[in-house]
Amino acid sequence: MQTWPLRSLPPADALEGYRHAISASHLPWDLVADHASVAGGSEEVVEHRIGPLRVVDCESGPVSGRRGRRQIAGSPGEYVGALFVLDGTEVVQFARTEVRLTPGMAIVWDSTVEAQFAVPAHIRKRTLFVPRDRLCDLGPDAVGAVLHDGPGTRLLRAFLDTAVDTVCGAPDDAATSAAVTATLDLLAGALDARHDRRLGCREQRWAAVRDIIEERLTDPDLVPAEIARAAGMSLRSLYELFAARDDTVAGYVRRRRLARARAELERVGRDVTVAEVAHRWGFADQGTFTRAFRAQYGVTPGAVRR
């Protein structure tokens, strides 16, 4: 167990000490906190270890923060976090999704995805950090999932209480291994129960990705990493989302660009050149565009112009 003794710090050092404790225990964050609220004496951060898992308890006043590219690049590893709000309220945002968490609720977040949070008043929360490779079987829909105050969530929370009290720091490797397995099974079970309450999660993610691609088809920087960032998911999750549809990111983007280019050629006819249309829809040159167009439609771009 590791404790950051924030309550014993002099008021002048409280804000910097709090920032250090949060970034050390919750991975790097760019934090914004009021000195007066942090110096009020309610802050406490305690980390427990269960094998490769970390359980971090945090109590604090008002604070907000974000994880951008810089903080993600500076992280010591890739984790999936399950954040449980025990008392108070926290607003979490991933890309286009904003969730307001109240006591009993939890959210699953990915350390490789940009995120923001805001705590408007005093809060007590617990975060379970799992190395990302230990959750590979949960699939892309797990990240961003909201766990409501149901039986599955309560069972996971109660087991973490027990594991922290009995297993943390214990020399019994068999007990620790069993606790890790049980924790991951309970998390998977809570996510399965949540699927019954939130139908079509994968389709919602697909719709968000599709909209992002459609809005930015003319953007030459529309690459998988940028699509994943805009959608608030990891690159791996993006690839898995397309693989589930027997498709690829690059293939889908290319087909959509060709479809929009064909529609423009049919609409404007000979008022624009094929080269202009190819450039507008993200193709490097007219030759590349023409070969892709013929492969998709069986005719040249010039043949569809009216």
Q: Which amino acid is at 141?
A: D
Q: What whole-number distance in Å separates Cα of residue 22 and Cα of residue 26?
A: 5
**Residue ranges making up the domain that contains 107:** 2-198
Q: Which H or E element spans position 123? A: strand 123-131
Q: Which residue has the tokens 């959750």?
A: 135
Q: Is residue 41 scored above 90 in pLDDT? A: no
Query: How many Cβ atoms from other residues are within 10 Å of residue 158's Cβ?
Result: 11
Nearest alpha-carbon partner for 95 in 209, 219, 248, 194: 209
Taking residues 117-131, report their average pLDDT. Answer: 92
pLDDT at 151: 86
Residue for token pair 């269960």: 50
Single residue among 169, 198, 227 that ends a domain in this structure? 198
Tokens of 52: 């490769």
Task: Report the pLDDT value the prediction gives residue 5, as an integer from 0 to 100.
Answer: 72
Q: Are residues 283 and 176 in the same domain?
A: no
Domain count, the chain: 2
209: CATH: 1.10.10.60
**In this prediction, what percent of the chain has a pLDDT beyond 70?**
86
67-to-182, 213, 223, 292 alpha-carbon distances in Å: 30, 23, 21, 39
- Write out the H or E segment, with its range, that includes residue 289: helix 286-297
User: pLDDT at position 138, please?
Assistant: 56
On whether both 216 and 191 belong to a single domain, the answer is: no
Specify the length of the chain in residues.
Answer: 306
| Strand, helix or coil for residue 226 | helix
User: Does 280 share its domain with 295?
Assistant: yes
222 in the same domain as 191: no
Is the pLDDT at 235 greater than 90? The verdict is no
Residues 217, 177 share a domain: no
d(CA 158, CA 64): 28
Looking at the fold, whether 143 and 233 belong to one and the same domain comes out as: no
pLDDT in tens, 142-171: 667 888 888 888 999 999 999 998 887 666
Between 214 and 168, the higher pLDDT residue: 214
At which of 176, 198, 220 does a domain end?
A: 198
Same domain, 145 and 273: no
My answer on whether 58 and 184 are in the same domain is yes
Domain co-membership, 191 together with 212 = no
Q: H/E element holding 116? A: strand 115-119
Residues 181 and 270 in one domain: no
Measured in whole angstroms, how far is the alpha carbon of residue 41 from the centre of its chain?
A: 32
Report phi then psi at 267, rounded to 5: -80, -45
Mean pLDDT for the stretch of residues 18-47: 77
Instruction: Look at residue 156 in the predicted model and tell me its pLDDT.
Output: 93
Which DSSP category does 218 fall into? T
Residue 198's pLDDT band (cuts 50, 70, 90): very low
Partner residues linked to 4 by β-bridges: 45
Q: What is the pLDDT of residues 60-113, one digit of tens each?
A: 888 899 999 899 988 888 898 999 999 999 999 876 678 899 999 999 888 888
pLDDT at residue 189 greater than cutoff 70: yes
pLDDT at 54 (0 to 100): 93
Return all residues near 99 (Cβ < 8 A) that are at least 6 apart: 91, 92, 93, 107, 146
Q: Which element (helix H / strand E) includes 227?
A: helix 224-231
pTM for the full predicted model: 0.66
99 exposure class (CB count in 10 Å sphere: 0-12, 13-18, 19+)? middle
Residue 4, both tokens: 């950051």
Q: Are residues 79 and 114 in the same domain?
A: yes
Residue 196 has pLDDT above 50, yes or no: no
Coarse DSSP helix, strand, coil percentages of the chain, rounded to the nearest 5 percent: 50, 20, 25
Shared-domain flag, residues 221 and 297: yes
Domain boundary among 146, 181, 198: 198
Look at residue 33 and tell me whether its pLDDT is greater than 80. no
Q: What is the pLDDT of residue 145?
A: 82
Res 121 pLDDT > 80: yes
Mean pLDDT across the chain, nearest whole number? 84
List the CATH number of the domain containing 8. 2.60.120.10
- 282 pLDDT exceeds 60? yes
DSSP string, 5-67: -GGGS-HHHHHHHHHHHHHHHH---EEEE-HHHHTTS--EEEEEEETTEEEEEEEESSEEEEE
The pLDDT of 4-32, averaged and rounded, is 79
Neighbouring residues of 128: CB distance < 8 A, sequence distance ≥ 6: 53, 54, 55, 81, 82, 84, 160, 183, 187
